Structure 1
Amino acid sequence: MENILESESYKIQQPENWASKIDDNQLIEYIKESDFSNKQVEEGRDFCYFLDKIYYTSDTENSEYACVAYTLNEPGNLESASARDVIVEENETYIIHRISVLREGVLIDKIADTKIKVLDNENQSEGGILSSSKKVNITIKDLRLYDVLITEDSRVKIFTDRDFLRKEFLKYVYITPSTYWAYGNYKFTFINDRKETIAYKKTFFRDENGNVLEAETNYLKKGERFVIEKEDYINSFDQNREIAPYIDFATDRNWTDLSNYISPLYEEIYSKSSLKEFAPKLVEKLDAITDKDEQLQFAIDYVQNHIYYVYNADEMNGHKPQEPAITYENKQGDCKAKSVLLKVVLDYINVDSSVVLVNFNSDHYITHYLPSLLTFNHVIVKINHKGETYFIDATTRDEFGLIENRGFIYFLHYLEVKPNKQLEVRKPYKFPYYGINEKVDLTAQNQKGDLKLVTTYKGNRANYMRKYFKNTNKREIVDSWNNFLFYTLNYSGDREGTDIRTIFNDASIEIVNDDKKLNEFTIQYKTSIENPYFTDQQKNRFLMYFDRNVVKNNARDFMHKDILFWHNFDNEKYEINLQTDQRIDTEEKFTIQESTINNPYFDFTSRKKVNKNGASIVVDFKPLVNLEIPSADFEKFRNDHHTIADSNFGIGIDIIEQGLLNLLKFNFKKRLK
C-alpha cells in the first residue's frame, strides 16, 4: 500500500466488537453460484452475493458497518469500484477492514494494491458554505472484469461537545436498496446501545399486490436489535411512481418534548445582550424610520443583505445559535445566527416574531417521519404583522418589498421554537396580487407585424427577473424572448429551422419600472415581424398567440402513486390583442371559445372580444397554493387543466383571403361546420 501513515480521517484495522466477524473461509463459502445468481448475470446485470449492513448507535458514537461482495461484470461498475470517494465529517473516521477479490476461485488481498489520499472536500466551498469534512479517495489497482470484489469497512462518528443534539437524539433513515442489485443474501441490523429507547417506523412497505401497508411503529430498548434478512432478494418498487420503502429510527420523543428541549437554548441566546448595546448605529437608523411597514422592510433587508450567509455544515445539526452580538460584529452567520439576529431586531421594533425549524427538501416526509429535531435542516423566521402571518428566510439575498410584497416561501410543516409546541401545518394561501400581469399587442398591416409585450412581475417573480436581468447578457435575454415567441406565435409550425433572429430582427427589451417597495418589476419587449402570419400546408393564414406557460403540464402529467401533487403556481393574468388589416372569420370555433373553471384549487377564466379585423382574450388564473392536492380530488384537478390546454390559453384568428374563389371556399367550409 502506497500510504503508510494513516490519517485521522481513515484507518486500517479490525472491526469493532459489535460488528460481524467473517473469516476468509466464510467469505469463499458465501460466494457461491446459484440458479438465482446465474439468472441475474444472464440478464446482463451485476450480482451482489451478500451484503451485511449494521448501524450501531450509543451515547458516544454513531457508526455504520458494511461487508459486501459483488461481481464486476459490467465495465461501469468496474470503473466505479477502481476509484471512489468517501466523505467523512469532522470527528468521523473511515475504517477499512478488508479489500479483497475472488479471482478464479482464489481470494486475493488487495490492501497492498490500494492507494488512499485524503483531500479537503471542496465540492461546496463556494457561496459561503464551510465544511471541515474530508474526502477519502480510494484507488484499487488491477481490478479486472469478472472479479468478485469484497470490501469490509466502517464509518465511526465520535460525538464532541458540539454534537450535543446528536448525543441526546438519534435520527437515522434506513432506505431499502436500489432495484438494480439482486442479492444472494441481504442483511441489515440496527443496534441500540443508547440509554434512551429508540422508536422505529416502517413506511411505504407494500403487500404482494403492491399496495402500501399501514405504517408500523415499534421500539428498541438499550441492547436490543432490529434485523432484516433476506435471501435471493430484489427490491421491487416502481422508482418513477413509488417511494422506496424505508425505516425511520429516532429517539422516542414527541413534538412537545422536543420544543421544550430546544426553546430554552434559543431563549438564552436572545437575552444575551440588547440591540442598543451591540448595534447602536443600526438602532439609530431604525429609530429614524417612522413608518412601521418601512421599518420592518429595513430590518429584513439589513439582515438579509448586510449579514453574509455562512453555512457551516458541521454546526448546522448540533451547535447552539451564535449570539446576535457576534453575528452583527462579524457580519456573518448561518441560518440560525441570521434568524436569531432578525428576531432580536424585530423585538426592538415591537414586531411579533419567532424562529421556526423547517426542512424544505423533505417537507413531504415530515409527517411520515417520527418526531425528531434532526429532521429539520433550516431555520427561518415567522412574523405576525397586521393580522397576517409571513415567513422570512433570513439567508435570502436580493429580495425586495414591503413584507406583503416579498417572495413567498413554499413549505407545509414547521416547528416553532417556543415551549409546548406541536408540529404545525401552514394554511393554504391565495396571492393578493398577480405574479405575472402581461399585456400583448400584435398588429399586422401590409404583411408586417408590430408586436409589443408589457409584463409586470411581482413577488417571487420580480425577485427572480430582477436577478436575471442583472446577471444575464442583454443579447441572451432578447434571444430567450425571441425563442419563446417563435413557439407562442406558432412559427415553429411553418418556418422550423429558420434563424430566429432573422424573424425578430429588430427585437429589443427594456426595464420600464422597478419598484422596490411594491416589489414590481416591469419590462417591455418590442419587435417588428416580416410576415407575422402562420401559414398551414393548405396556404391558410392565421394570426396566433398561445402562451404555453399558462398550461401546467406538470399537473397534467403527474402520475406518482405515493406523493401528492404539490400546488405552487402563481396568480397570472394575460391580455392578448390581435389586430389585422384583413377580414377574419368572426365565428370560428376556437376564436370565440371561452372558458370558466371553478375548481376547489384554482379559478380560471378566458374572456374574448371579436371584431371583423381582430380579437382579444383576457386569461385570469388564480390558484389556491401551498398545499397537496388530495388523491380523491386529483383527477378532476387534472381534467380541468386539460380543459385549459384545449385552446383556452391563448387566441388565434383565421384570415379570410380576398377574392371570389376564397370567399366561396370560406362559405363552403362554414356550411360543413
Structure 2
Amino acid sequence: MDNPIQIENYSIRPPETWAGSVDDQQLIERIKESDFSERQINEGRDYCYFLDKIYYTSNIENSEYVCMAYTLNEPSNLERASVMDVVVEENEMYGIHRISVLREGVLIDKIPDTRIKVLDNENQSGGGILSSTKKINITIKDLRLYDVLILEDSRVKTFTERDFLRKEFSRYVWVSPDNYWAYGNYKFTFINDRNEPIAYKKTFFRDEMGNVLEPETNYLKKGKKFIIEEKNYINPVDANREIFPFIDFATSSNWKDLSNYIAPIYEEIYGNASLKDFAPNLVEKLDAIADQDEKLQFAIEYVQNNIYYIFNADEMNGHRPQEPSVTYQNKQGDCKAKSVLLKVILDYIGIDSSIVLVNFNTDFYIKYYLPSLLTFNHAIVKVSYKGEIYFIDATIRDEFGLIENRGFIYFMHYLEVKSDQELKERKAYRFPYYCIDEKVEFHARGTTGDLKLTTTYKGNRANAMRRYFRNTNKREIVDSWNNFLFYGLNYSNDRNGTDIRNIFKDASIDIISDDKKLNEFRIQYHAAVENPYYTDPKNNRFLMYFDRNVVKASARDFIHEDLPFWHNFDSEKYEVHLYTDQKIDTEEKYTVQESTISNPYFNYTSRKKITKNGATVYIDYKPLVNLEIPRNDFEAFREAHHMIADSNFGLGIDIIEPGLMNMLKFSLKKKFNK
C-alpha cells in the first residue's frame, strides 16, 4: 500500500528532551506585569509575555516546539484562540503539552475543556491539488476576556523513504516576528543534530541607524545551537518599506555539488525512457508533422493540454520524478512529471532541452538564500532552439503559438538539472512583438460619435484574452470596455452617475481573428456615442482619448527601502485618430505636444499629426523587462513615467465654437496665454 492511513495525528504528551521542561510555578513566575507590558496593554496592543520557539533537525526528523503565553484582551483575539486549526503533513505528529490559562492569578488546566477533531484537509482535489495533510481542529471552551492563554505544543515530521531529500538536506527559514505583537521575552533556538554541518545566513538585519548590514554566514556542527533572545521587544521593521530580517538555515553545500546530486536522478529517468516503446501513437503523430516549428508547438501543447496537472504536495517535497511512461499512460502528473515527459518528447524530435528548478514565489530572495535544493518548488523546461533560449511551463494550459510567439514567463533565478551547474540568472528580455497593438478611431459628427477600437493581442496577452472571452458573458465584456472608455474619453468628469449603456449605444465587441501559430488574438469594439464631447465647467468642449493603462502607476508610486522595482511591463503600440466636424485649435499646447523618452529600461515615443478637423497620435512603448531596476537608476526611471503621465498617454483636441463672439474669445485666449 503506497499511502498507509495514519490513524493518530496528534497526542497529549510531554515535550521532547531537547525542548526542556517548565513547571507550573515557573510559568506563573514568567507571567509578570512590568512597565513595558502595561504600556503595551494601555495602548491596546496584544501582549505576549514570552515566546520560546525551538527548531530541531536530525537525519531522522524535523521538529518544531513552541511555548508561549499571551493576552486575550481583544474580542477578535479571543475568538481566534477559542478555535484553532493545525495542519500536519503525512507522517507528521502534533503534540499538545500544555493548554492553560492564568485567570486572576490562578493557573487553570484547559485540556479537559479542549475538544479535538482530525479532519481531511482535501478541499482542492477537484483542481488537481492532492495532499495527505490533516487538519487538527482544536476548540477550547470557556476562554474569557483578559485571560492569559498558555500554549505549549510541538510538531514532529518523521522522514520516510519518499522524503529522501529531507533526510539528506535540511532547510529552514526563520523570519523575525510580526511587529503587531509586543513580547516581554522572545527566544528562538535552532538545534542541529544532523551529522552534516548546518550553515546559517543572517540577511536584512539593521544597525542602530536603520542601515542594512551585510549578510553574515556562520556554521553549526552536530549538537550545536543558535539562539536569538530579546527582552521587552517589538520588531522595529517598517513593514511597508522594509524586508523583515530573516535567517536561512541549510545543510552546508554549494550549487555545483547540489546539481551533481540531483542530475543523476533525472538522467536515470531519461535513460530508461523510449518514446517509441511507450507512446507509439504520439510518435506517429510527431512523425507526420514535416515542419520542425510546428512539431515543437505540437509537442509543447500536447503535454500542456493532454496531461492533467496534479500538484501532489507530498511528492513535491522530494525531487524524484515520475517515469514518463507512467505520466503518458495515466495522462497526469506533477510539474516534474510533465516536464520530464516534455523533455523526452523533445529529445525524440531532436530539440535540445533541459529541466530547470525555480521558485516563482521567492524568486527575489533566491540570491540571498544559501544553496539548497529545498529552495525550489517548481520545475519547468529550458529549450534551446534556433540560437534562442526559451522557458516552457508544462503545467500551463490553453497557451498557443510557435515557440517565439508563446507567452513569456517572468523569473530570474534557476538551477539547471545538469552536472556541474551554478545558480543562473536569466538575461533581461525585450519583446520581439507588441503585446498590445491598438488602433482607435473616433468620428464626432453633430451630437453623436462613432467609436471603433481594433486591438491585436500577442503572447501572454493573447492567451489571457482568449480565456477571458471564452469564460465571460458577452454583455459583461462589453460593459467592461464601456467602463474603460467612460474614463478614457473623460466622461467621468462631466456626466458621472450616468448609466454607461445610455452613453455607448449599440455597443458590440467581436473576435475578428485568432491565429494559433502567431498567437495573435484580434478583437473589434464598436459603439455609437451620445454627446461625444467632454464639456468643462466653462462650457468648453473637448474630444479626448487617454488610455490610463499606458501610465504605469506601480512605477510612479513605488516606494521601498529594500526591494528593487521588478520591471515586467508589456510592449505596447497605439494609434489614436480623433475626427470632428468642428474647427479645432491646431496649436494648443497639449494637442501638439510630443515626447521622446530613451533610457536603459524603456523607449517611449508619442508623435502627432494635426489637421484642421482632427488629430492623430502614434504611441510606441518598448520596455526591457524581466529585471530589477537598480536603486541608483530608479528615480530617473520614475521621472520618465511621470513624463508619460504629463498628457503624453493619449490625445485631446479643443473645439473652437462657431460664431463671431466665440472666435473673438478664442483669439483673446491665445493672445494672453502666449
Q: TM-score range by the shorter chain?
A: over 0.9
Name the CA distance, whole Å, in 2 between partners of 1:338 and 1:672: 70
**Alpha-carbon distance in 1 for matches of 2:118, 2:497:** 51
Give how far 1:209 is off: 1.1
Counterpart CA distance in 1 for 2:329 and 2:411 is 32
Instruction: Give the aligned residue type for 1:48.
Output: C
Please say if 1:213 is aligned against 2:213.
Answer: yes
1:287-340 residue CA offsets vs partner (Å, 9 max, x unmatched) = 000100000000001000000000000110215100000000000000000000
User: 1:470 aligned to 2:488?
Assistant: no
Query: Which residue of the partner structure matches residue 363 of structure 2?
Result: 363
Displacement of 1:273 in angstroms is: 2.6
Find the counterpart in structure 2 of residue 327 from structure 1: 327
| CA–CA distance in structure 1, aligned partners of residues 125 and 325 of structure 2 | 26
- Specify the alignment match of 1:290 in structure 2: 290
**Post-superposition offset of 1:26:** 0.3
Corresponding residue number in structure 2 for 1:72: 72
Residue 505 of structure 1: how far off its partner (Å): 2.3
Matches within 5 A, 1:532-543: 532-543=532-543
User: Gaps (5+ residues) in structure 1?
Assistant: 1-5
Cα-Cα RMSD? 0.7
What's the counterpart of residue 41 of structure 1? 41
Name the counterpart of 2:660: 660
CA–CA distance in structure 1, aligned partners of residues 125 and 533 of structure 2: 52
> Is the CA contact 2:93–2:155 (under 8 Å) kept in the aligned structure 1?
yes
- 1:573-598: CA deviation from partner (whole Å, max 9, x where unpaired): 00000000000000000000000000
- 1:625-660 deviation per Cα after TM superposition (whole angstroms, max 9, x unaligned): 000000110000000000000000000000000111
Residue type of the alignment partner of 1:329: Q
Task: Report which stretch shifted further, 266-275 or 414-423.
Answer: 266-275
Task: Give the partner amino acid of 2:40.
Answer: Q
Does structure 2 retain, via aligned residues, the 8 Å contact 1:162–1:319? no
- For residues 5-43 of structure 1, give each alpha carbon's deviation from its aligned partner in whole angstroms, at most 9, with x where no partner exists: x95211110000100311000000000000000000010
One-letter amino acid of the structure 2 residue matched with residue 299 of structure 1? A
1:412 counterpart residue number: 412
Superposition pairs of residues 329-478 of structure 1, within 5 angstroms: 329-478=329-478
Is contact 2:505–2:530 with CA below 8 Å preserved after alignment? no
Deviation per CA, 1:512-540, whole angstroms, max 9, x where unpaired? 00000000000000000110000000000
| TM-score normalised by L of structure 1 | 0.99
Q: Distance in 2 between matches of 1:123 and 1:36?
A: 43
Cα deviation digits, residues 464-512 of structure 1 (max 9, x gap): 0000000000010000000000000000000001111111121000000
Compute the displacement of 1:560 (Å): 1.0
Aligned partners of 1:273 and 1:321: how far apart in 2? 12
| SS of residue in 2 equivalent to 1:379 | strand
C-alpha contact 2:273 2:344 (8 A) present in aligned 1: no
| Aligned residues of 2:40 and 2:47 also touching (Cα < 8 A) | yes
Corresponding letter in the other structure for 1:316? M
Give me the whole-angstrom Cα distance separating, in 1, the residues matched to 2:187 and 2:237.
19
Give how far 1:272 is off.
1.3
- Amino acid corresponding to residue 626 of structure 2 in structure 1: N
1:579 matched to 2:579: yes
Aligned residues: 668
1:53-132 counterparts in 2 under 5 A? 53-132=53-132
Q: Give the Cα separation in 1 of the matches to 2:171 and 2:660.
A: 80
2: CA distance between counterparts of 1:494 and 1:532? 11
Give the aligned partner of residue 3 of structure 1: none
* SS of structure 1 residue aligned to 2:429: coil
- Residue 496 of structure 2 is aligned to residue 496 of structure 1: yes
What is the identity, as a one-letter code, of the residue corresponding to 1:200?
A: Y
Q: What corresponds to 2:646 in structure 1?
A: 646
Letter in 2 for 1:492: S
* Partners of 1:118 and 1:649 in 2: CA distance: 57
Stretch moving more, 658-667 or 333-342: 658-667
- Shift of the 153–7 alpha-carbon distance from structure 1 to 2, 3 Å rule, reads farther
Give distance in 2, aligned partners of 1:630 and 1:428.
13
Moved over 2 A (4+): 122-126
Q: What displacement does 1:375 show?
A: 0.3
Distance in 2, Cα, partners of 1:485 & 1:201: 51
Partner of 2:601: 601
Distance 1:18 1:124 in 2: 37
1:270–1:344 contact (8 Å) kept in structure 2: yes
AA at the equivalent of 1:309: Y
Unaligned runs of 5+ in 2: 1-5
1:86 maps to a residue whose letter is V
Q: Which amino acid aligns with 1:159?
A: F
Question: Partner of 1:548: helix, strand, or coil?
Answer: coil
Q: How far apart, in 2, do the equivalents of 1:123 and 1:562 lie? A: 37
Say whether the 8 Å CA contact 1:545–1:651 is kept in structure 2. yes
Instruction: Describe the shift of the 1:197–1:506 C-alpha distance in structure 2 as closer, same or farther (beyond 3 A).
Output: same
Distance 1:321 1:515 in 2: 35
For residues 669 and 147 of structure 2, the distance between their equivalents in structure 1, rounded to whole angstroms, comes to 72
Percent identity between matched residues is: 75
Match of 1:19 in 2: 19
**In structure 2, distance between residues paired with 1:273 and 1:483:** 54
Measure, in 2, the Cα distance between the counterparts of 1:184 and 1:42.
Answer: 15
CA distance in 2 between counterparts of 1:359 and 1:406 reads 21
Give, in whole Å, the separation in 1 of the partners of 2:229 and 2:245. 15
Cα deviation, residue 260, structure 1 = 0.2
Distance 2:148 2:271 in 1: 61
Q: Distance in 1 between matches of 2:53 and 2:184?
A: 14
Contact map agreement 1:458 1:521 (CA 8 A) in 2? yes
* Corresponding residue for residue 486 of structure 2: 486
Structure 2 residue 539 is matched with structure 1 residue 556 = no
Give the CA deviation at 1:162: 0.2
* Aligned ranges 1:222-261 → 2 under 5 Å: 222-261=222-261
Q: Which residue of 2 aligns with 1:318?
A: 318
Note if 1:568 corresponds to 2:568: yes
Give the drift of 1:122: 2.7
Counterpart Cα distance in 2 of 1:491 and 1:84 = 50
Question: Using the alignment, how far apart are the partners of 1:329 and 1:126 within structure 2?
Answer: 20
Show the counterpart of 2:3: none
User: 2:180 maps to which residue?
Assistant: 180
Residues 163, 319 of structure 1: 8 Å contact kept: no
Distance 1:74 1:209 in 2: 34
Deviation at 1:447, TM superposition (A): 1.2
SS in 2 for 1:485: helix
Name the CA distance, whole Å, in 1 between partners of 2:162 and 2:67.
31
Amino acid at match of 1:75: P
Conservation of the 8 A alpha-carbon contact between 2:391 and 2:409: yes
Per the TM alignment, residue 110 of structure 1 is displaced from its structure 2 partner at its CA by: 0.3
SS at match of 1:505: strand
Corresponding residue of 1:302: 302
Whole-Å Cα distance in 1 between the matches of residues 643 and 497 of structure 2?
31
- Tell whether the 8 Å contact from 2:122 to 2:130 is kept in structure 1 after alignment: no
